[in-house]
Structure 1
Amino acid sequence: MDITIACATRVAFHLDSPKAEGLGGIETASIEFAKSLAARGHAVTLLTRTDQTRAAAGVKNMALEALPDLTGDVLIVASNAEWMRGSKHSRHVLWLHNHLALNKAARRGQIGPMLRHRPHAVFGSVAAERACSRLYPFVSRHIIPLGVSAEFLSSRLDAPRSLRFVWASNPRGELKPTVQAWLRAHAQIPTGASFDLFGVDEGSLGLSPAQAGKASIVLHPRLTKADLARSYESAAAMVCPGSPGETFCLAAAEAQCAGLPVITLGTGALAERVQHGVNGLVCRDMTELADAVVALARDAELLGLLREGAQRMRPVMGWDRVAKLWESFLTRL
């Protein structure tokens, strides 16, 4: 099958970017998805914001602007249907990574291409599909979860762990309440525990550097997947409350595959990522979330049980499995 994948986020990236840059979830998923389909024998072209043409792992990576000149069996567009405009492909799929409000879609010129090409829609979670308006002219709606990069599926699970709780989500409105929950928990947990925040700048915390240091909050830059997976090898658990707009939460899935249970409010797709008492703890509010941090910091046996449950996600989170699910879906279109 001749498949084109268009990822039109604002981020400029290419096939080799993950080796040197910390990419976001949509960019990472697009690269992994393209490579996994190519590994199954499909002819795959990945269109991104790049100024060079590259080829690797059976995938041809070109600039988005090349789209009008391409033909193929199917065009898969990540989130932005506007890029279907002028497409010469036989079939069209809108791969929705974010919630798409009707007024936003209309304002950005996405309704016209949808009406013309009548795409099939693919969501990463049940929560995302249910939150999407039924007024969109999709031919069909399907749920296919994302996968996790190999770095998290092969990271060491037997390395010594310290009481490092981690955050690696995009900073949204839940960051400051989560920091406040950590402050409440910090006074009750053993000395040496820390809250490591990845990709968060100092100004987002709502704390002075002195306050952050006193509370054992450690800031890290956004890391590559390989570096983040290595960092997780010595961590205890992830704190990820979730948000109403969360359509999958790749950060939580990556953490679980690296052996980290996830403490969450179960908001958005986190209700699907985390099973309470199996691979994490689902809390009703930030007070309970702070209590959950204390519980895992104090109870090594509980932490071990949840860690065991988290790492059991590995066999079902590989991109090779995701590619097979997509292949089955695409052959039925």
Structure 2
Amino acid sequence: MRIALVSDVYLPQLGGIELQVHDLAVQLIRAGHDVTVYTLSEGPSDDVPVVRLPSTAGFPVRAAVDRLRGELTSYDIVHAHSSIVSPLAWRAARLARAAIVTVHSLPGPTMPWPLAQLDRYVGDVGWTAVSAAVASVMRRSLPGRVVDVLHNGVDRAAWRPAARQPHPLTIVSTMRLARRKRPLALLDTLAAIRAMVPSGIRLRGVIAGSGPRERALESRRRDLAPWVELPGRLTRFELRELYASADVYLAPAELESFGVAALEARCAGLPVVAMSTGGVGEFIRNGVEGFLVDTDAEMARTTAALLTQPAVLDRLQVHNRHTTPRMTWERVVAQHVAAYQAQLVLRERALASAS
């Protein structure tokens, strides 16, 4: 199958959509498909075919749209990857012969999300979401429309934990240091955990990542929790090494559409304590792979209790090290290909009925 993956953002920018689109392209190519990525992100050549289109202020210019119009019709399916605002992905879906749009983001409670207008703009596409949490919100905005779930994927073998070494009880998290991910709230939670765990127990905290809140986080860390480390952005290899000397992973974002970083940590054997409002609940069950909580205070209490109950902590770690989540790439690629084929069938039926 000839497939175009379209995403406004892509590597070398780092983020959930950027990495997932790249990894999906790699996995589809390995499965024998002909795949090209179209994006507005500038950068060097990639290990998959990439067309980098010109833009102004985040919007494709006329030359970019003309190229989309001329090339997308040669693909069997166009898979557009959308965040809250993704003009390239939306234009590609409108121009394609057959298209699927996957939404990767959860809108905030006060954020306008004109999904019904977007549905009219892009035309007869297949709507999908990266999690049931996102799909539920979309269905409320698109009554009568089918919204399927196409999960993000994980390479479990790549996150298999290295040999663990003696270390202090360690709490980790990795994220883009932006307001939406709530890094400052996480730092407050870590300080609360320290106050709840007996002072004789040594704790280490690590918040990996970079972003616009980096300077504010460092300033507050010095005053509030000097025992917390901020190593900056880490490679996947460096994260795997970090997880091998860690004990629990925290996911504080309240609008986490899926939670790839949490899934990777879970594959590395770490129990995950996450907010219950997002997509993490699709691979974390209370008392099995970790815990889902409703508030920062509950996250602090739950994590402190876990760190002071070695038998419970060990049981969750063993379970996560030795069980495979549903979102492996083998399953996720099969899920995507089935969705592509179904959309092609619908498109052919629509053309037949119109003729």
| Structure 1 residue 307, shift from structure 2 partner | 1.0
Alpha-carbon distance between aligned partners in 2 of 1:219 and 1:119, rounded to the nearest angstrom: 43
| Structure 1 residue 162, shift from structure 2 partner | 3.7
Find the residue that maps to 1:314 and give its secondary structure.
Answer: coil
| Structure 1 residue 270, shift from structure 2 partner | 2.6
Alpha-carbon distance between aligned partners in 2 of 1:288 and 1:147, rounded to the nearest angstrom: 29
Q: Which amino acid aligns with 1:32?
A: D
User: Which residue of 2 is the match for residue 142 of structure 1?
Assistant: 148
Alpha-carbon distance between aligned partners in 2 of 1:163 and 1:320, rounded to the nearest angstrom: 34
Deviations 1:214-241 (A, max 9, x none): xx11112111222112211111111113
5+ residue gaps, structure 2: 54-63, 344-355
Q: Contact (CA 8 Å) 1:121, 1:142: kept in 2 or not?
A: yes
5+ residue gaps, structure 1: none
User: Which residue of 2 is the match for residue 177 of structure 1?
Assistant: 185
Find the residue that maps to 1:166 and give its secondary structure.
Answer: strand
Alpha-carbon distance between aligned partners in 2 of 1:208 and 1:277, rounded to the nearest angstrom: 30
Q: What is the TM-score normalised by the length of structure 2? A: 0.78
Task: Confirm whether residue 285 of structure 1 aligns to residue 288 of structure 2.
Answer: no
| Structure 1 residue 283, shift from structure 2 partner | 2.9
User: Which residue of 2 is the match for residue 95 of structure 1?
Assistant: 102
- The partner residue of 2:80 within 77, 82, 88 is 77
Report % sequence identity. 23
| Structure 1 residue 146, shift from structure 2 partner | 0.8
Alpha-carbon distance between aligned partners in 1 of 2:274 and 2:113, rounded to the nearest angstrom: 29
Alpha-carbon distance between aligned partners in 1 of 2:339 and 2:163, rounded to the nearest angstrom: 34
Task: Confirm whether residue 228 of structure 1 aligns to residue 231 of structure 2.
Answer: no
| Bigger mean CA deviation after superposition, 95-104 or 41-50 | 95-104
Distance 1:313 1:138, change over 3 A: farther
Task: Confirm whether residue 165 of structure 1 aligns to residue 171 of structure 2.
Answer: yes
Deviations 1:8-40 (A, max 9, x none): 02xx62xxx4xxx7x211100000001111111
Deviations 1:231-260 (A, max 9, x none): 1111111111331x2210111101100111
Alpha-carbon distance between aligned partners in 2 of 1:52 and 1:100, rounded to the nearest angstrom: 28
| Structure 1 residue 274, shift from structure 2 partner | 1.7
Q: Contact (CA 8 Å) 2:8, 2:87: kept in 1 or not?
A: no
Alpha-carbon distance between aligned partners in 2 of 1:284 and 1:193, rounded to the nearest angstrom: 24
Q: Which amino acid aligns with 1:185?
A: I
How many residue pairs end up in the alignment? 316
| Structure 1 residue 46, shift from structure 2 partner | 1.0
Alpha-carbon distance between aligned partners in 2 of 1:69 and 1:159, rounded to the nearest angstrom: 56
Q: Contact (CA 8 Å) 1:2, 1:72: kept in 2 or not?
A: yes
Q: Contact (CA 8 Å) 1:92, 1:117: kept in 2 or not?
A: no
Q: What is the TM-score normalised by the length of structure 1? A: 0.83
- The partner residue of 1:124 within 121, 130, 135 is 130
RMSD: 2.9
- The partner residue of 1:33 within 24, 27, 30 is 24
More helix by share: 2
Alpha-carbon distance between aligned partners in 2 of 1:81 and 1:111, rounded to the nearest angstrom: 13
User: Which residue of 1 is the match for residue 61 of structure 2?
Assistant: none
Distance 1:47 1:312, change over 3 A: farther
Alpha-carbon distance between aligned partners in 1 of 2:228 and 2:5, rounded to the nearest angstrom: 39
Distance 1:41 1:260, change over 3 A: same
| Structure 1 residue 166, shift from structure 2 partner | 0.7
Alpha-carbon distance between aligned partners in 1 of 2:251 and 2:171, rounded to the nearest angstrom: 10
- The partner residue of 2:216 within 203, 216, 239 is 203
- The partner residue of 2:194 within 186, 191, 194 is 186
